[in-house]
A and B are shown apart, each in its own frame.
Chain A
């Protein structure tokens, strides 16, 4: 290991922080590649399609009527900030997939947003209580700049996987790189393995 001359570091390391991450505290940086869209819940829809038995869409009222699910824990951005002890509420992706019924050949998903943003994930990373579509943050409606009215939440992976303004999931039998993944970022993005960039 190479040390940096004169650097001792300032803070005790919180065990909740993956390697190379720092605790951003009460801030919540906004990092987005595109203009922030203004979306109305009046014509909002969310669709699960691709390799499923029943392509299924929900309106805002329909998704709000599904069983509510919450996440409390930590989120980690590839730009090295982490936010500890946050809470989100929405619906589990398991609930959405149960309605659409994935085909046995489905092994990856591509999440899409209204802005054209996409991100790819192994199906195994969005099932078994690991992923949500959320519309509440700390008990309040999710703010527009943080992806409101609703975003994907996959907190065990770097946060670019948690697509803002999410509009659907497409199930696939192969891994198709999304927006940041085509721009040099890792296909899976596990913060504990520091899978930041292609080739990590």
Chain B
């Protein structure tokens, strides 16, 4: 089965907690922002991994959450900066603080990289399927593939409700990517609005590894569709997230 064994490159131990400086904040959608963080202690990471942000109040109260890295690992390892894309959740204690309070020049306590399973090392065929904010770790993989000139290894399918919900709209499109709109499409879009279906995965390499990232409500049906498209369950890696905040 696909779950036996560890990563080929040994145990990816996360780096230490460190104070990272926010050097850039970009708006991706009405509810998502990307934070570029400069790391005083550079970190080796793999496309698909995440970082933890820890907020500490003056009385010692702490809140921490994990956020996927959207940027590609630097060509020259380790990386001295990472970009985390954060969706603002209505009740999100951490995400709303990051959106509403954090400014360029602030310092945030972070630790990473975390996770050694939902990672793509850039050298094997892979099908990436992301729902909504689930595109973030997949964007790291796509950026890595393009940076290394290996984009032909990837098929990327991103599902969003409406055009306004698409992250990285200027950068995502390309011969290897497909955008599926479930509620409303851009004008003159060839595919009618509707949920991800096996037709959206025509021609996927049955030997590819499948990476599915999204809410639990997205990930389970997407897994079934990918299996229907010919990728066995043992080759499918899933990162589901529930409401975190």
Contact = CB atoms under 8 A, between A and B. Distances in A.
B2 A184 contact: no
Contacts of A19: 62
Contacts of A4: 55-57, 97, 108-109
B165 interface: no
A28 B242 contact: yes
B244 interface: yes
Given A5-B106, A13-B61, A24-B243, A184 B14 contact: yes
Interface string A9-37: 11101000001101010011111111111
Given A34-B3, A80-B66, A184-B114, A20 B54 contact: yes
B14 A197 contact: yes
B4 interface: yes
A115 interface: yes
A35 B236 contact: yes
Interface residues of A, number: 45
B121 interface: no
A105 interface: no
Contacts of A37: 233
Contacts of B114: 184, 197
Contacts of B66: 79-80
Contacts, number: 140
Interface in B62-119: 62-66, 93, 97, 101-102, 106-109, 114-118
A29 B57 contact: no
B227 interface: yes
B7 A183 contact: yes
Contacts of A32: 238, 240
B115 A184 contact: yes
Contacts of B106: 5
Contact of B3 (A11, A28, A117): A117
Interface residues of B, number: 54
Nearest to A8: B57
Contact of B7 (A7, A115, A182): A182
A9 B233 contact: no
A139 interface: no
A199 to B, nearest CB: 6
A22 B97 CA distance: 15
Contact of B109 (A2, A10, A81): A2
A145 interface: yes
A104 interface: no
A6 interface: yes
B242 A27 contact: yes
Given A4-B57, A11-B93, A30-B242, 18 more contacts: A4-B97, A8-B59, A9-B57, A9-B59, A9-B61, A20-B64, A22-B93, A27-B243, A29-B243, A34-B1, A34-B233, A34-B236, A35-B233, A80-B244, A81-B242, A117-B3, A182-B11, A198-B13
Interface of A: 1-11, 13, 19-20, 22, 24, 27-37, 79-81, 113, 115-118, 145, 177, 179-180, 182-184, 197-199
